[in-house]
Amino acid sequence: MATIQQNFTVSYSYPVIFTRDVFSPDNPELAEAILLSGCTRNRALVVIDSEVVRLTDGLLERISRYGEAHNDMLEFVAPPFIIRGGELCKHEPFEVARIHDLVERHRLCRHSFIIAIGGGAVLDAVGYAAATAHRGVRLIRLPTTVLSQNDAGVGVKNGINAYGRKNFLGTFAPPFAVISDFEFLETLQPRDLRAGIAEAVKVALIRDRPFFDVLYGERHKLASFEPAALERMIIRCAELHLQHIAGYGDPFESGSSRPLDFGHWNAHKLEELTRHELRHGEAVAIGIALDSIYSRRSGMLGDLDLHRILTLLDDLGFTLYHPALAWLDVGQSLREFQEHLGGELSIPLLTGIGSKIEVNSIDTALMKGCIVELATHAGRKSTAPVKEMNLLKAQEN
């Protein structure tokens, strides 16, 4: 009988800060971020990645001393809650339920804070808990890995795994603030430092050729984790990520296009197939290589550009083949990715370094041939039977 058309716009703003020794009483960044609430007295729950606690000497004591130094404006309502690190915290609902319990027990409200300290998986899980308690408790992220500082920790997504699917449950909820402390990176193993660089390669390939040229020129410094080069890479990657969220009109991904997921349709599946033995960034590096080869075989990307992409990934130290690729069901993986996105299938491919196009279909036979080529490039034999590999090559020809 009647239609009322509702329209409104919500503006979001949050700082992304890069610093050192965030819990030094003399470092103002965290206190100033909290004071952006406009409240003179603020209550907060700290949640920390167990690996960060294990690797960072005296962290719990430093947090306690920080609270004492700023007790005029900040109250930590409980000792820090230590959450299991890595994908484990996203697989099982225990940690999210415990955070909800702590919010209820300590009477935190939507004007209170949850301060999440950890890698990308922990930030995802804690962010999901914060977004679903009271429909949103304020979240401050302190990312502690390269991957979380340059990508996962600066955006607006939170989530946990369910039904055997990565990020099946989740929310779009911008953080109140993000504070990246470069000193946390000093505790990381080479494998974890390297994994985070994959997202910088990804965003450079789809958004910024000059940034790719910088990464290529500094690839040996990055491979040896030279601090200045690593920090420049993190800041520029985070900046491009934030520009994309703000400038492309779809920060909550209501459409089908997700260019920041270049190389991810297969990376997510590789993580599942390997039961997360592959780090996310390691799987993304393989996905970037595979989709770059497909872009070249489709006639969109030149040979020289492909050579530079693979050289960069190789020289950074990534292993670009994993036996799980032989088990990858390309068609099923694409269908699952489309289901996760909604709408029609939309896969970003490269038309050059720094430019991309969205395609709505993938030639599965051609993609299987790309897997064969990647296996050859990596100098490894696929675990698929020789007969199957010969068949794939025949389909290509």
pLDDT, residue 249, reads 60
DSSP string, 213-241: HHHHHTHHHHHTT-HHHHHHHHHHHHHHH
Is residue 275 within 8 Å of residue 364, measured between CB atoms? Answer: no
Measure Cα distances from 176 to 30, 33, 253, 276, 317 in Å: 11, 8, 20, 30, 35
Q: Report DSSP letters for 19-79, one per residue.
A: ES-TTSTT--HHHHHHHTTS-SSEEEEEEEEHHHHHHSTTHHHHHHHHHHHTTTTEEE-SS
Architecture of domain 16-187: 3-Layer(aba) Sandwich (3.40)
Enumerate the β-bridge partners of residue 101.
none
**Residue that the structure tokens 């036996």 belong to:** 323
pLDDT for 24 equals 96
Q: Where do you find CATH 3.40.50.1970 in the chain?
A: 16-187
Instruction: Say how many CA atoms lie within 13 Å of 231 toward its Cβ.
Output: 14
Residue of 357, 365, 263 whose CA lies nearest to 318: 263
Per-position pLDDT tens, the chain of length 397: 899 999 998 889 999 999 999 999 999 999 999 999 999 999 999 999 999 999 999 999 999 999 999 999 999 999 999 999 888 899 877 889 999 999 999 999 999 999 999 999 999 999 999 999 999 999 999 999 999 999 989 999 999 998 888 888 999 999 999 999 999 999 999 999 999 999 999 999 999 999 999 999 999 999 999 999 999 999 999 999 999 888 776 677 765 456 678 999 999 899 989 988 999 999 999 999 999 999 999 999 999 999 999 999 999 999 999 999 988 999 999 998 888 777 788 899 999 999 999 999 999 999 999 999 999 999 854 444 344 444 444 544 4
Q: Hey, which residues does 197 pair with through a beta bridge?
A: none
**What is the C-alpha to C-alpha distance for residues 328 and 332, in angstroms, rounded to an integer?**
9
pLDDT of residue 393: 47
Q: Torsion angle, CA of 42/132/199/374, rounded to 10 degrees?
A: 160
Determine which helix (DSSP H) or strand (DSSP E) holds 82, and give its type and residue range.
strand 81-83
Q: How far apart (Å, rounded) are the C-alpha atoms in residues 5 and 308?
A: 51
CB-based burial label for 186 (10 Å; 0-12, 13-18, 19+)? exposed
CA distance to 25, 80, 182, per residue, from 67 (Å): 9, 11, 21
| Beta-ladder partners of 178 | 16, 141
Domain ranges in the chain with CATH number 1.20.1090.10: 259-396
Indicate the CATH number for domain 259-396: 1.20.1090.10
The pLDDT of residue 397: 47
pLDDT of residue 150: 96
Grouping H, G, I as helix, E, B as strand and the rest as coil, residue 276 is: coil
Looking at residue 52, its pLDDT comes to 97
By C-alpha distance, which of 21, 20, 53, 17 is closest to 34? 17
Contact (Cβ atoms closer than 8 angstroms) between residue 138 and residue 37: yes
